[in-house]
C-alpha cells in the first residue's frame, strides 16, 4: 500500500521523506499521556514477571493496545547510592601501577631462565592464559606477543611440550593450540589427532590425577574454538565434556572442581571476559600460593574494583539520560538499560571505552522500546507514520505522530545524533547518514513483522529468517557504539565488520536464532505467530516443536563455528582487534539468552550478572 494513502489527516510536510538533516537539536517534550502498566518497585525489589497477554485501554482513541506484561525496571535511581566505592582514590591506582610493573618483571624473567624446554613453554602459556582469564591482559600486550612468538617458534604438527611426560604434552598442546588460535596464529586442529589414543585412555580408564584433569580441562577449552568442518574438535569436545562431568561427581569440592564447573557452565561464547575474571578470581591460586599467583591475584582484584568506580560515574550519566529522555513514562516497554550497560561492561572494560559502554546501553534501550512498540503497542497505521518520520529525520516530524510516539521519536533522534558526534571524534569523519540507513533498515524489518502480526500471516522460514536477521537489531546495537572506540574503522575495514560482511550476517543470525528458541512461546501467547520455530514447522508438515528446536540448535552450532572462523581466520586483511568487539557483542547477547529470555525476565541470571560484576566489589 502506498504510504501516503494511509495518512489520514497529515499535512504535506508529514509525508516528505529523507529531508536533509537539520543542524538544530530538538528539546525533548514531556510525554502528555502516561499509560500505567506496572508500578515501580521499591528499592532493590522487583516485580515477579508475568508473561501473560494484557491490554490497556487508551480512552482518547478507543484503541485496545496489547502489552507484554513485563516486569518493571529493577534498578531505580537509588541504586547509585549503594555504589559508593573507595577504589577510585589515587592510592589504589598507584598500587595497581606498581603491581603492573612487577608482573612485567615476571614476564621478563622468563626469558632469562634456563631449564627444560617444555617447562619454559608451559610457563609462558600459563602466564598468558592467567592474565587473560583474570581480566588484566590489557596491560601486557607486548609481553603476551613475545611469549606467544616464543611458543609458536616450537610449534609443530605434533604439538609442543616434548618433556618427560606424555600427559604434559597433551596439556601444553591443548593450551598452546587454544591460545595461539585465539591470537591469530595459523595452527591446525589436526594436531589433536596425535593424542587420540591418550584421550581415549583418559576417558575409559581415568586416573583422575590433577595433571590429567587439567589436561582434559584445557582440551575442552580448546575444542570450543572450533572452525567449520573440524571433526576432531567435535570429538574432543564430546569426550572431554563427558569426562569432566563424570569427574565433577567424584572429586571433592575445591578450586579445581569450581573451575571445572565454571568452564562447563559457560564455555567460551557465553563466558563474558569480566564475568570470567570475577569467577576466576575466586579459584585462582587457591591451591598453589607463590609470588606469581599472589601478585597476579592482587592486581586482578584491584583492577576489578577500580573499574567499579568508573562504572559508578557512567551509571550516573546513563540514569540521567534515561530520565531526561522521558523513558520512565514509557510504561508499555521493558526497561533494561542497566542490564545492557552491564553486558557492555563485561566485554569492554578498558577505561577509555566509556563511549562504547554508554552508547551500547542507550542503543539497546531504544531498540527495546521500538521493538515493544512495533510488536505490541502501536497500530499498523501509527507505525507507518513513525517509520516515515524516522526517514524524514527532522524534529518537526513529531507533528505527524500520535502523542505517545512524540517523545520516543525525539529520544531516537537526539541519541543517534549524539552518538554520531562521538563517532566523528573517534573516526575523524561523519557517519550519521550511514548510521541512519542502518536504523531505517531495522525499522523497515520491524514494520514487516508488524504487518505479519496484524494479518496473522506466517511466512516461509527463509522469508522470516532473512527479515529476522535485520530485526534482531544486532547491527544497530553494535554500529554506533563500536565507532566511538579508539579502534580505526576506515570504510574498507568497516564493510568487513559491519554490513554487508559475513561477520555481521552471522552475528545477526546468531541473535535471531538463539532469541527465537527462548522467546517463541511467550511471543505466541502475545499473538505473534511468526517465529523460526513456527515457520520451520510450516515448511515441514508433521514436524514437531522439538524437531524445530533441534534444527535451530544445529544451525546455532554451525553459526558459532562460522563466527569463530570469521574472527580468527589466518591471513585476513582485517585485524582481529577490529572484528573482536562485534564478535563479543554476539557473546553478550548470547549470554542474555543462555537460560531464558533474560531481557524480558531479567530478575534471575541477568540480575545476578549485574550484582556480581557491577555492584559487588571483590574482597581484597
Co-location of 226 and 311 in the same domain: no
Per-residue pLDDT for 361 more than 90? yes
Q: Mean pLDDT for the chain?
A: 87
pLDDT for the residue 289: 73
Co-location of 283 and 305 in the same domain: no
In a domain, 488, yes or no: yes
Domain end position, chosen among 275, 299, 323:
299
Which range (15-19, 272-276, 345-349, 470-474) has the least confidence? 15-19
159 φ, ψ to 5°?
A: 100, -160
In a domain, 244, yes or no: yes
Helix, strand, or coil here: 54?
strand
Phi-psi region of 208 (alpha: psi -120 to 50; beta: other; left: phi over 0): left
pLDDT for the residue 360: 98
- Domain range holding 313? 300-615
* Paired residues of 56 in beta bridges: 65
Helix, strand, or coil here: 155?
coil
Query: Which among 370, 348, 351, 352 is positioned nearest to 360, based on CA atoms?
Result: 348
Name the more confident of 515 and 167: 515
pLDDT for the residue 201: 64
pLDDT for the residue 472: 97
Co-location of 263 and 305 in the same domain: no
Q: Are the beta carbons of 325 and 369 closer than 8 angstroms?
A: no
Q: Are the beta carbons of 483 and 429 closer than 8 angstroms?
A: no
For residue 478, what are the CA distances in angstroms to 36, 333, 443, 509, 538?
31, 21, 16, 14, 32
pLDDT for the residue 35: 31
Q: Compute the C-alpha angle 438/441/444, nearest 5°.
A: 150
Query: Which among 233, 212, 150, 216 is positioned nearest to 185, based on CA atoms?
Result: 150
Q: How many CA atoms lie within 13 A of 69 on its CB side?
A: 12
C-alpha to C-alpha distance for 286 and 281, rounded to whole angstroms: 9
Co-location of 467 and 368 in the same domain: yes
C-alpha to C-alpha distance for 532 and 253, rounded to whole angstroms: 41
Maximum Cα–Cα distance across the chain? 84
**Interacting residues of 84 by C-beta distance below 8 A, sequence separation 6+:** 312
106 φ, ψ to 5°?
A: -65, -45
Percentage of the chain with pLDDT > 70?
85
Q: How many CA atoms lie within 13 A of 362 on its CB side?
A: 33
In a domain, 570, yes or no: yes
DSSP 93-122: HHHHHHHHHHHHHHHHHHTT--S-HHHHHH
Query: Which among 303, 260, 384 is positioned nearest to 140, based on CA atoms?
Result: 303
pLDDT for the residue 60: 47
pLDDT for the residue 69: 87
Co-location of 290 and 403 in the same domain: no
Query: Which among 567, 571, 587 is positioned nearest to 228, based on CA atoms?
Result: 567
Query: Which among 337, 137, 129, 273 is positioned nearest to 588, based on CA atoms?
Result: 273
In a domain, 461, yes or no: yes
Percentage of the chain with pLDDT > 90?
75
Q: What pLDDT digit, counting tens, does each position of 538-549 carry?
A: 999 999 999 999
Q: Which set of grid coordinates corresponds to residue 442?
A: 531495522
C-alpha to C-alpha distance for 497 and 201, rounded to whole angstroms: 43
Domain end position, chosen among 270, 299, 328:
299
Per-residue pLDDT for 514 more than 80? yes
C-alpha to C-alpha distance for 548 and 252, rounded to whole angstroms: 40
**Interacting residues of 416 by C-beta distance below 8 A, sequence separation 6+:** 432, 435, 436, 439, 480
Based on DSSP, count helices (H) and strands (E) in the chain, helices before strands.
23, 2
C-alpha to C-alpha distance for 480 and 359, rounded to whole angstroms: 7
Q: Are the beta carbons of 10 and 381 closer than 8 angstroms?
A: no
Q: Which set of grid coordinates corresponds to residue 473?
A: 537489531
Q: Are the beta carbons of 527 and 543 closer than 8 angstroms?
A: no
Co-location of 260 and 380 in the same domain: no
Co-location of 222 and 307 in the same domain: no
Other CB atoms within 10 A of residue 616 CB: 12
The average pLDDT across 482-490 equals 96
pLDDT for the residue 114: 61
pTM assigned to the model: 0.89
pLDDT for the residue 51: 31
Per-residue pLDDT for 103 more than 90? yes
Q: Are the beta carbons of 51 and 36 closer than 8 angstroms?
A: no
Q: What pLDDT digit, counting tens, does each position of 591-600 carry?
A: 999 999 999 9
CATH of the domain at 434: 1.10.600.10
Q: What pLDDT digit, counting tens, does each position of 282-300 carry?
A: 999 776 678 889 999 999 9
Per-residue pLDDT for 506 more than 90? yes
In a domain, 110, yes or no: yes
pLDDT for the residue 44: 27
In a domain, 11, yes or no: no
Q: Which set of grid coordinates corresponds to residue 510?
A: 546468531
In a domain, 164, yes or no: yes
Co-location of 240 and 145 in the same domain: yes
Domain end position, chosen among 245, 276, 299:
299
Co-location of 308 and 242 in the same domain: no
Sign of CA dihedral 36, 37, 42, 43: negative
446's enclosing H/E stretch is helix 432-455
In a domain, 370, yes or no: yes
Helix, strand, or coil here: 464?
helix
Co-location of 142 and 257 in the same domain: yes
Query: Which among 276, 342, 313, 302 is positioned nearest to 139, based on CA atoms?
Result: 302
The average pLDDT across 264-268 equals 95
The average pLDDT across 6-27 equals 36
Query: Which among 140, 185, 135 is positioned nearest to 160, based on CA atoms?
Result: 185
In total, how many domains does the chain have? 2
Per-residue pLDDT for 516 more than 70? yes
Co-location of 295 and 402 in the same domain: no
**pLDDT-based confidence at residue 113 (cuts at 50, 70, 90):** low
Per-residue pLDDT for 308 more than 80? yes
pLDDT for the residue 36: 29
Q: Are the beta carbons of 551 and 537 closer than 8 angstroms?
A: no
pLDDT for the residue 206: 63
pLDDT for the residue 81: 65
**pLDDT-based confidence at residue 62 (cuts at 50, 70, 90):** confident
Helices (H), 456-542: 461-471, 474-483, 491-497, 502-525, 532-539
Query: Which among 429, 599, 610 is positioned nearest to 523, based on CA atoms?
Result: 599
Q: What pLDDT digit, counting tens, does each position of 379-390 carry?
A: 999 999 999 999
Q: Are the beta carbons of 501 and 380 closer than 8 angstroms?
A: no
Q: What pLDDT digit, counting tens, does each position of 453-466 carry?
A: 999 999 999 999 99
C-alpha to C-alpha distance for 306 and 96, rounded to whole angstroms: 9
The average pLDDT across 322-330 equals 95
Q: What pLDDT digit, counting tens, does each position of 222-251 carry?
A: 999 999 999 999 999 999 999 999 999 999
The average pLDDT across 410-419 equals 98
Co-location of 308 and 291 in the same domain: no
CATH of the domain at 219: 1.50.10.130
Q: Compute the C-alpha angle 119/120/122, nearest 5°.
A: 65
**pLDDT-based confidence at residue 550 (cuts at 50, 70, 90):** very high
C-alpha to C-alpha distance for 258 and 244, rounded to whole angstroms: 12
DSSP 487-498: S---HHHHHHHS
The average pLDDT across 6-35 equals 36
Per-residue pLDDT for 319 more than 70? yes
Amino acid at each position: 500500500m502506498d504510504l501516503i494513502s494511509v495518512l489520514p489527516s497529515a499535512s504535506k510536510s508529514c509525508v516528505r521523506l529523507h529531508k536533509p538533516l537539520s543542524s538544530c537539536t530538538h528539546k525533548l517534550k514531556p510525554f502528555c499521556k502516561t499509560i500505567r502498566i506496572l508500578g515501580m518497585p521499591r528499592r532493590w525489589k522487583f516485580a515477579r514477571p508475568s508473561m501473560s497477554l494484557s491490554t490497556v485501554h487508551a480512552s482518547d482513541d478507543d484503541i485496545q493496545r496489547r502489552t507484554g506484561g513485563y516486569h518493571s525496571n529493577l534498578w531505580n535511581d537509588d541504586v547509585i547510592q549503594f555504589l559508593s566505592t573507595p577504589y577510585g582514590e589515587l592510592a589504589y591506582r598507584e598500587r595497581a601501577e606498581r603491581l603492573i610493573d612487577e608482573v612485567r618483571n615476571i614476564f621478563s624473567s622468563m626469558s632469562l631462565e634456563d631449564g627444560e624446554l617444555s617447562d619454559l613453554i608451559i610457563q609462558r602459556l600459563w602466564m598468558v592464559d592467567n592474565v587473560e582469564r583474570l581480566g588484566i591482559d590489557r596491560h601486557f600486550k607486548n609481553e603476551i606477543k613475545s611469549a606467544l612468538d616464543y611458543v609458536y617458534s616450537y610449534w609443530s604438527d605434533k604439538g609442543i611440550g616434548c618433556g618427560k611426560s606424555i600427559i604434559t604434552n597433551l596439556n601444553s598442546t591443548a593450551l598452546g593450540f587454544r591460545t595461539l588460535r585465539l591470537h591469530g596464529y595459523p595452527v591446525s586442529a589436526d594436531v589433536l589427532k596425535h593424542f587420540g589414543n591418550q584421550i581415549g585412555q583418559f576417558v575409559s580408564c581415568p586416573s583422575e590425577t590433577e595433571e590429567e584433569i587439567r589436561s582434559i580441562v584445557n582440551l575442552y577449552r580448546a575444542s570450543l574454538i572450533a572452525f567449520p568442518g573440524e571433526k576432531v574438535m567435535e570429538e574432543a569436545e564430546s569426550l572431554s565434556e563427558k569426562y569432566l562431568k563424570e569427574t565433577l561427581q567424584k572429586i571433592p569440592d575445591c578450586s579445581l572442581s569450581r573451575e571445572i564447573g565454571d568452564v562447563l557452565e559457560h564455555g567460551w561464547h557465553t563466558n563474558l571476559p569480566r564475568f570470567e575474571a570475577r569467577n576466576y578470581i575466586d579459584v585462582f591460586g587457591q591451591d598453589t600460593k607463590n609470588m606469581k599467583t599472589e601478585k597476579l591475584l592482587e592486581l586482578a582484584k584491584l583492577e576489578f574494583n577500580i573499574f567499579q568506580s568508573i562504572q559508578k560515574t557512567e551509571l550516573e550519566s546513563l540514569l540521567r539520560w534515561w530520565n531526561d529522555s522521558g523513558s520512565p513514562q514509557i510504561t508499555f516497554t521493558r526497561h533494561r538499560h542497566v542490564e545492557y550497560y552491564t553486558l557492555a561492561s563485561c566485554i569492554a572494560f578498558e577505561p577509555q571505552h566509556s563511549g562504547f559502554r554508554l552508547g551500547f546501553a542507550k542503543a539497546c534501550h531504544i531498540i527495546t522500546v521500538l521493538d515493544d512498540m512495533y510488536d505490541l503497542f502501536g497500530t499498523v497505521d501509527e507505525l507507518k507514520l513513525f517509520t516515515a518520520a524516522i526517514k524524514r529525520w527532522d524534529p518537526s516530524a513529531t507533528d505527524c505522530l500520535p502523542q505517545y510516539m512524540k517523545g520516543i521519536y525525539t529520544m531516537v533522534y537526539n541519541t543517534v545524533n549524539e552518538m554520531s558526534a562521538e563517532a566523528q571524534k573517534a573516526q575523524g569523519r561523519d557517519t550519521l547518514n550511514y548510521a541512519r540507513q542502518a536504523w531505517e533498515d531495522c525499522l523497515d524489518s520491524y514494520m514487516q513483522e508488524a504487518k505479519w502480526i496484524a494479518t496473522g500471516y506466517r511466512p516461509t522460514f527463509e522469508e522470516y529468517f532473512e527479515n529476522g536477521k535485520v530485526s534482531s537489531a544486532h547491527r544497530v546495537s553494535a554500529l554506533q557504539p563500536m565507532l566511538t572506540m579508539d579502534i580505526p574503522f576506515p570504510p574498507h575495514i568497516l564493510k568487513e565488520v559491519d554490513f554487508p560482511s559475513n561477520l555481521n550476517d552471522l552475528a545477526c543470525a546468531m541473535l535471531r536464532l538463539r532469541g527465537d528458541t527462548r522467546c517463541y512461546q511467550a511471543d505466541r501467547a502475545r499473538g505473534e505467530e511468526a517465529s523460526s520455530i513456527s515457520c520451520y514447522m510450516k515448511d515441514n508438515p508433521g514436524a514437531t516443536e522439538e524437531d524445530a528446536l533441534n534444527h535451530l540448535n544445529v544451525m546455532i552450532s554451525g553459526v558459532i563455528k562460522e563466527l569463530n572462523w570469521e574472527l580468527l581466520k589466518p591471513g585476513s586483511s582485517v585485524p582481529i582487534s577490529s572484528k573482536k568487539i562485534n564478535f563479543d557483542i554476539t557473546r553478550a547477547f548470547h549470554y542474555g539468552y543462555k537460560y531464558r529470555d533474560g531481557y524480558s525476565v531479567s530478575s534471575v541470571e541477568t540480575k545476578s550478572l549485574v550484582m556480581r560484576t557491577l555492584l559487588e566489589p571483590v574482597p581484597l
